[in-house]
Structure 1
Amino acid sequence: MTGSPATLLRRAVSPARHAGSPRTVLFVMCTGYFLVLLDVTIVNVALPSIGSGLGTDVGGLQWVVDGYALALAALMLTSGTAGDLYGHRRVVLAGLVVFGVGSLACGLAPDVPTLVAARVAQGVGAALLLPGTLAIISRAFPDHAARARAIGVWAGIGSLALPAGPLLGGALTDSLGWRAIFLLNVPIVLVALVWSAATVQESREERARRPDVPGLLLGSLLLLATTYAFIEGGRAGAGSPEVLASVVLAVLALPALAVAEIRRGDDAMLPVSLLRRPAFDAANVAAGIMNLGTLGTLFVLMLFLQSVQHRSALLAGAAVIPLFAPLAILAPLGGRITSRTGARLPAAAGLLVATAGLALLALAVPHASYLVLLPAFLLWGIGMGFLTPAVVAAAIAAVPAERSGLASAMNNTARQTGGAIGIAVAGAVAGQPADETRFVRGFHAVALGAAGLYTAAALLVLMLLPGALIPGGER
């Protein structure tokens, strides 16, 4: 990137010379959104190469993935509020700068601690960027019909990032090495930054809430301590002093967070009035379990495909396309079905179909053919394709219309939090791929555990989600 980070940030916050066309704004915002979601899946396929290149074990690889996920989960709600208060353009462009610098640092990292720190920086940039892209698109398309079409494009581009990640990551890792998956971001971010600074107009809310700093700090502490306990517990054992200390911190942070949010009322990062709505809670719990099971199992799956079945990074990435392609293809159909029938049945059906796919992974053994894995991937992906739009729609429908943005952000935070914890748990359960017998047994336990959680989530949504989408939910 040209110039220091401070110089780029000053350029980013300077006023746009002219407003770009709505389509230009949409394209640039979709570029940023695509990069954020791409980094959720592109890294998994490079994990064995990172491990061998930097000499780290599964615990170190967990931190490489979770460094990004933790920052994204912890800052998602606060960054949306910051955009309302300080301007969405300013926050989005600052996010691009941080994400680009973090990507460059990842690509040049000489060791695992540096790489993890750079991944955290990437996550901070992603958290600044993600909520604002949708807010800017909404402002660029004031007509309701045009806005709906634009948001559909935005969601579709995001869905394409999921199957693109493993395939692109595998190709880059095999041809240029794992560092290329991070360095690829740098020129794209630079173009998006300059183009956005020139064409996106500033927007902010007249009555924006102040950021909930106590909620942010306590929520981040709770998430970090919980993740640390699982990852380091898998490395050093549950009885190690560091793990016990992190458990104590998590236990103390949870009630402290509850008290802080109750005192702040409706201006809290996690408003208690929304959390008292059973349908809203069920949608967010289901969303968290969805990513906990999916990202946790995916973390172990990619190690299984490469370290146990000895596929190349490219072949491993291509192998999971049947998992992610249904999600990208069926999500629009799932959204239409949800709008007609309500979220309860599509969410429950999606969870149960995905359960069947996860359960079939118990048949995966070191010398199993791809035909054994394919039905598991297809069922898992088809279930996710119907589940994802249903839980998002259910969360938004459960709250008053004026709080729909916050509801969407909380649902996204639940997904990112579930994913971070899922990766920590899955790695601790599976252990090191070098111990092949234990690792495969752990892989099966992770997949079956995820299937069990999905079944429990299906029962939860059947009991608590309404049969139709009622805007505003229950009062």
Structure 2
Amino acid sequence: MKPVLLITLCTGMFLVQLDVTVVNVALPTLGEQLHAGLTALQWVVDGYSVVLAALLLAGAALGDVFGHRGVVLTGLVVFGAASAACGFAQSAAWLVAARAVQGIGAALLLPGTLAVINRQCPDPSTRARALGVWAGVSALALPAGPLLGGVLVSLAGWRPVFLLNVPIVGAAALAVRKLVRPGGRTPGRIDLPGAATAALALGAGVYAVIAHQPLAAGIAVTAAATFLVIEHRSEAPMLPLRLLESRRTAGATTISAALNFVGLGAVLVFTLYLQSVLHLKPLDAGLALLPLFLPLVLLGPLSGRLTAKLGPRPPIIAGLLLGALGLAGILRVDTATTYASLLPALLGLGAGMGLLTAAVVTAAVTDAPAERAGIAGGVNNAARQAAGALGVAVFGAVAGDPANHPAFVRGLHTLGVLSAALWLAAAALAAFTTGPRTRGANGAGWPPRMRGTS
């Protein structure tokens, strides 16, 4: 694969990650100017994440059916237009709605990046290295987000945080048109009932956590059960359930969910802690988050090389254990400590996520047949984004209002213990599921035809 093509494909993930981290640093200023409380700020993040997660599988299916090049270009256009709408928002409700449209654009463009890499790199070692570069380049958005967000908010307010996406989208669209050839279509249909029930399940679930609404929780459970029934009976399912018959695919997808549940939830509460408890300015808070994000950039390519040489299991387990150690370090912070007390937690979590990213993606897509690469990548990304949206809701609910410093810090301690336990459990799961390539649950491996591909 040509390096320039690989970098171009990384642009989709870069934009998605950049927008998440830029927004987090801008939240306190944005909330003050738009008169938005903690609940509204959670929806500024989750309005984007929920839609992205709910529609990622549909976006992957659209790419498989109509070709990933055209769908990625459409996603870039939608994402850019929605970013402009965010930049001109006059209320929290307007901003949340525009963020939801951003999620639609991201869901269209994101799965195609992994699908094209998988198609262009049939050799497993080459593919693992390419995915390592993909993880490292896309992770540049994470440290860039807090820095750019801090600078922009300090100098020009929060609106340029969103408007910055527009020229990047234009450049990416031009590069995709030039470097990615049309093609790669697989005959099939789009599972609209599946997409609708998935969106309802995730949206209601997040709302239930943020608003403490039992009725919404019931709707979420009902919609999730309905989604599984639809996928089981559908001629062209959005989520081919046989995809999860591979123990490695199912395990890697679950671990990916744990990764983003903790990672995105932690970014929210760390940002609020730095600005509301330690009283750092936006730019200083952005700089303070670099120890969390820089390891993702530095260790992503290393994770790809380790995965190519050793397989995905060693870097996944090492990343989870290192991250759990960092999460336990959250117990050291309180209302009277300095930034130095938070630093070990940032470094440990960042290093763990850096080792995990490329390895779990490789484990998730390796067992999938080439013609279903978009779906395999979409399932993994959907699990990550859905869990990230829930993580933002849960972490915000447990930590509570950052204006109440003692209660907020007690919430951080609770989150540190629970998150460390979750990642230790994920490490045990990785030991069982992410070893050498596995067969399907029926012992026959991948069938020559999947439901909806006849």
TM over 0.5: yes
- Structure 1 match to 2:86: 106
- Structure 1 match to 2:201: 222
Question: Do 2:125 and 2:308's aligned partners in 1 also have CA atoms closer than 8 Å?
Answer: no
Match of 1:359 among 316, 324, 328: 328
Question: Do 2:129 and 2:304's aligned partners in 1 also have CA atoms closer than 8 Å?
Answer: no
Match of 1:248 among 204, 214, 218: 218
- Structure 1 match to 2:307: 338
Q: CA deviation at 1:407?
A: 2.1
Query: Aligned ranges for residues 51-450 of structure 1 at < 5 Å?
Result: 51-135=31-115, 153-194=133-174, 196-197=176-177, 199-200=178-179, 203-233=182-212, 243-264=213-234, 267-400=236-369, 402-450=371-419
Cα distance in 2 between the residues matched to 1:279 and 1:148: 15
Q: CA deviation at 1:30?
A: 3.6
Normalised by the length of structure 2, the TM-score is: 0.90
Cα distance in 2 between the residues matched to 1:276 and 1:31: 31
Question: Do 1:297 and 1:450's aligned partners in 2 also have CA atoms closer than 8 Å?
Answer: no
Normalised by the length of structure 1, the TM-score is: 0.86
Q: Give the SS at the match of 2:144.
A: helix
- Aligned CA distance change for structure 1 residues 168 and 250 (closer, same or farther; 3 Å): same
Cα distance in 1 between the residues matched to 2:294 and 2:333: 21
Q: Which moved more, 1:134-143 or 1:300-309?
A: 134-143
Question: Do 1:299 and 1:427's aligned partners in 2 also have CA atoms closer than 8 Å?
Answer: yes
- Structure 2 match to 1:238: none
Output one character per residue of 1:41-92: Cα deviation in whole Å (capped at 9) or x when no partner.
1111111111111111111111000111111111111112212222323212
Cα distance in 2 between the residues matched to 1:321 and 1:253: 39
**Aligned residue type for 1:261:** E
Question: Do 2:80 and 2:166's aligned partners in 1 also have CA atoms closer than 8 Å?
Answer: yes
Q: How many residue pairs were aligned?
A: 443
- Aligned CA distance change for structure 1 residues 388 and 98 (closer, same or farther; 3 Å): same
Q: CA deviation at 1:472?
A: 8.1
Q: CA deviation at 1:363?
A: 1.1
Q: CA deviation at 1:354?
A: 0.3
Cα distance in 2 between the residues matched to 1:464 and 1:89: 33
- Structure 1 match to 2:451: none
**Aligned residue type for 1:431:** G
**Aligned residue type for 2:50:** L
Question: Do 1:222 and 1:250's aligned partners in 2 also have CA atoms closer than 8 Å?
Answer: yes
- Aligned CA distance change for structure 1 residues 254 and 315 (closer, same or farther; 3 Å): same
Q: Which moved more, 1:214-223 or 1:29-38?
A: 29-38
Q: CA deviation at 1:156?
A: 2.9
Question: Do 1:400 and 1:472's aligned partners in 2 also have CA atoms closer than 8 Å?
Answer: no
- Aligned CA distance change for structure 1 residues 284 and 217 (closer, same or farther; 3 Å): same
Output one character per residue of 1:142-162: Cα deviation in whole Å (capped at 9) or x when no partner.
999988776554443202111
Q: CA deviation at 1:447?
A: 2.2
Question: Do 1:400 and 1:471's aligned partners in 2 also have CA atoms closer than 8 Å?
Answer: no
- Structure 1 match to 2:428: 459
Cα distance in 1 between the residues matched to 2:433 and 2:4: 41
- Aligned CA distance change for structure 1 residues 194 and 394 (closer, same or farther; 3 Å): closer
Cα distance in 2 between the residues matched to 1:373 and 1:61: 23
Cα distance in 2 between the residues matched to 1:150 and 1:390: 12
Question: Do 2:299 and 2:351's aligned partners in 1 also have CA atoms closer than 8 Å?
Answer: yes
Q: Which moved more, 1:251-260 or 1:25-34?
A: 25-34
Q: CA deviation at 1:36?
A: 1.8
Cα distance in 2 between the residues matched to 1:374 and 1:101: 37
Cα distance in 1 between the residues matched to 2:312 and 2:176: 36
Question: Do 2:255 and 2:360's aligned partners in 1 also have CA atoms closer than 8 Å?
Answer: yes
Q: Give the SS at the match of 1:56.
A: coil
Output one character per residue of 1:345-385: Cα deviation in whole Å (capped at 9) or x when no partner.
32222111101101101211123122222221111111112
**Aligned residue type for 2:417:** L
Structure 2: segments with no counterpart, 5+ residues = 446-454
Question: Do 2:132 and 2:358's aligned partners in 1 also have CA atoms closer than 8 Å?
Answer: no
- Aligned CA distance change for structure 1 residues 354 and 119 (closer, same or farther; 3 Å): same
Q: Which moved more, 1:331-340 or 1:378-387?
A: 331-340
Cα distance in 2 between the residues matched to 1:455 and 1:23: 36
Cα distance in 2 between the residues matched to 1:391 and 1:363: 30
Cα distance in 2 between the residues matched to 1:149 and 1:337: 9
Structure 1: segments with no counterpart, 5+ residues = 1-20, 234-242
Q: CA deviation at 1:278?
A: 3.0
User: Percent identity between the aligned chains?
Assistant: 49
**Aligned residue type for 1:270:** L
Q: CA deviation at 1:31?
A: 3.5
Question: Do 2:400 and 2:408's aligned partners in 1 also have CA atoms closer than 8 Å?
Answer: yes
- Aligned CA distance change for structure 1 residues 440 and 148 (closer, same or farther; 3 Å): closer
